[in-house]
Structure formats: structure tokens, C-alpha cells
Structure 1
Amino acid sequence: MSNNPHPTIKRRLISMVYESLLGFAVLFLPFLIFEFATQASHTAMMEHLRQALAFVVLGCYFIHQWSRDGQTLAMRTWRMKLQANSGGPVTARTAAVRYLLSWMWILPAVLVALTLDLHRWQALGAIFAGILLWSLTAFLDKDRQFLHDKLAGTRLIQLPAPEKKKKV
């Protein structure tokens, strides 16, 4: 186990908001190409392909970043790093498992919204409720790690603040 402290839940949630904005940037070019290739078709099949494209592109991004050096851009900004529970780097396989498990933040709420035929604000409310409930899983762990990290065998650590440069 690492001696580094764990980031606060608040810090991780704020980082996730930043991460979601970066996710839109990561998806921009693949979606632009997709829209040109499909002539912006909105058939049911094309909508499912869009969702699959987002899932794959985001998966490639996160798995690559986590297994490369344990950090995405948002994690660098907030000085957090992902590591294996052993303290070592995260393998691509472990990163893939973490990526799949991280969908538990929203998947149950999406399924509830679909089952109850919720639309717009009600569906969005269900998703926010699901995110809130999943964030509470951190209180099940003494180091306040979220359940998807616990199940994947990973942990987020807080990196120290960079040393301030002395004025000459």
C-alpha cells in the first residue's frame, strides 16, 4: 500500500466534472467524422452506433491514460494518480476492468429511467441520483475509495503539491 494520502471525495467529484468536459473534447473529432460518414442520419441504428462509438472512444482514452502513467489531464490538474492496490502501475487489463466498472456511476440510473419511461428532466434527475448514490460507496472504504476502484483493485492517491519556485 502507498503512503500517499487519498484525495477527498469532493476533490474527486470536482475532477470528474472537469473530466466530463474533457470527454466531450475527446469525442469531438470521432463524432465529426461519424456525422460526415453517415450524413448525420438519425435512424435508431445510427443512434446506437453513436453510443457505441462514444463507449469505445472514451474507453480507449481512459484505458490508455490510466495504464500509461496513471493520470488523465483532469487527474494531473487535481494532482491525483491511479495505481494498483500494490502501489505499482495499473495494467491495461486492470484499466479496462476499471473503465467497465466505472459505468456503474450511471448505468443503473439509466436502466431505472428506461424501465420507468422517464424523460428529460426526470431521467436526468434519476442519473444525478444514481451518481450521488454511487459516490456514497466511498464511505464503505476506510480510505474513501469508490466501489469501482475497490472491485478493480485500484486506488486513487493524492500527489503532493509541486514545490514553489524560489524568487532569485
Structure 2
Amino acid sequence: MPTLPTTAAEPTVTLPATPSIRRRLATMLYEGVILFGVVFIAGYLFSTLTQQRNGLTHHNLLAAWIGFVVGLYFVWFWTHSGQTLPMKTWRLRVVTADGTALSAPRAIARYVLAWLWFLPPLALHPLLGLSLPHTLLAAAVWFVLWTATGRIDANRQFLHDRLAGTRIVAVGS
């Protein structure tokens, strides 16, 4: 188990083991299933309240609303228990680099940085005028590269966790 550096007066703190990359990716897949329902309800609420009759009407505002709702979902769970439902199922918890619970600003930073999994390749679509197959290929390559950051890091954490000062740990055995 990794230990954190300490000063002479402090005892050594031992953090739980880092779960495998496969386990964390399975959690992300399950998270996508849960988020489908969250996004559906948020979209329905938005379209009902704005009397939206066309998908192109207020589409930028809808995207911002859904981003806000999804962010609220993650930040609330990460700051209250350190776990979303899929994380509980797969026995994972998000904590700070030193093993303490996340504060709201750190959880928000982690949420924003987690968008790096998707936004860079998707931004290439309009910037370079890529076709849909080329955009999907770029997204797939980016996803594999981003996943590889979990293998390169000494603590087996993905880059967004490293940048946010957080880590995923296993809960129980």
C-alpha cells in the first residue's frame, strides 16, 4: 500500500489500495447508465419549463443546464459520501491525495477536469471541420491515451485526478 510522506512528528498514513483501471472504467460505464436517467429528467424539466417545442431552440442553454445538473450530481455525492451509486457498487471512493473527504471546491475542480476525457477531441470537430467518423476516431484514440495516464502515474491515478489533487481508492476488499 502506498504511504504518504510525513514530517518527523506525524505518523505514517496508509491509504487503501488503488483499484484496477478495468474496475474504474467499469464504474464509469455504469455511471453512464445512471447519468442517462439524470440527463433525461433534467432535459424533460428544461423543455417543460421553457415550453421548448424544437430541439434547436435554446440548445446552448439546454447544454449548459445539463452540464450544471450533472455537475451538481457528482459534486453532491463526492462531498457527502465520496461515492456515487456506481462507485458504491464497485466499492470505490474518491478522496483527496492525502485520503481526506473532498471539499466542494475540490469536487468542482475534479468535475471540470474530468471533462478532459471528452472535450479535447470533440472540440476538433468544429475547429478542423472533421467528419463524424474522424471525430469518433479522434475521441477513441484520445480515450485510450487518457486511460494510459493511469498506467504511467506512480499511484495509478488518471490525469484529471492528479491535477485535481484527488484519488480513487478501493473500499473494503
Q: What is the TM-score normalised by the length of structure 1?
A: 0.88
Unaligned runs of 5+ in 2: 5-13
Looking at structure 2, the residues matched to 129 and 82 of structure 1 have their Cα atoms a distance apart, in angstroms, of: 26
Looking at structure 1, the residues matched to 87 and 109 of structure 2 have their Cα atoms a distance apart, in angstroms, of: 19
Looking at structure 2, the residues matched to 25 and 122 of structure 1 have their Cα atoms a distance apart, in angstroms, of: 29
One-letter amino acid of the counterpart of residue 102, structure 1? A
Looking at structure 2, the residues matched to 32 and 121 of structure 1 have their Cα atoms a distance apart, in angstroms, of: 30
* Deviations 1:46-102, CA, capped at 9 Å, x for gaps: 111121111101000001110111000110011000001111101011000000000
Aligned to 1:38: 51
- Given that 1:113 and 1:126 are in contact with CA atoms closer than 8 Å, whether structure 2 keeps it comes out as no
Between Structure 1 and Structure 2, how many residues are aligned?
160
- Given that 1:145 and 1:156 are in contact with CA atoms closer than 8 Å, whether structure 2 keeps it comes out as yes
For residue 19 of structure 1, the aligned residue among 3, 22, 31 is: 31
* Deviations 1:17-52, CA, capped at 9 Å, x for gaps: 111111111112221122223333233x61111211
Q: CA RMSD in A?
A: 1.5
Which structure is higher in RCO with an 8 Å CA cutoff and minimum separation 6?
Answer: 1
One-letter amino acid of the counterpart of residue 42, structure 1? G
Looking at structure 2, the residues matched to 133 and 21 of structure 1 have their Cα atoms a distance apart, in angstroms, of: 23
- Given that 1:35 and 1:41 are in contact with CA atoms closer than 8 Å, whether structure 2 keeps it comes out as no
- Given that 1:83 and 1:156 are in contact with CA atoms closer than 8 Å, whether structure 2 keeps it comes out as yes
Higher mean Cα deviation, 143-152 or 28-37? 28-37
| SS of equivalent residue, structure 1 residue 157 | strand
Looking at structure 2, the residues matched to 119 and 46 of structure 1 have their Cα atoms a distance apart, in angstroms, of: 25
The yes-or-no answer on 1:84 pairing with 2:115 is no
Looking at structure 1, the residues matched to 19 and 40 of structure 2 have their Cα atoms a distance apart, in angstroms, of: 30
Unaligned runs of 5+ in 1: 162-168
Identity %: 36
| SS of equivalent residue, structure 1 residue 90 | coil
One-letter amino acid of the counterpart of residue 132, structure 2? R
Q: What is the TM-score normalised by the length of structure 2?
A: 0.86
Aligned to 2:168: 156
CA positional deviation for 1:124: 2.5
CA positional deviation for 1:128: 2.2
- Given that 1:65 and 1:71 are in contact with CA atoms closer than 8 Å, whether structure 2 keeps it comes out as yes
Aligned to 2:119: 107
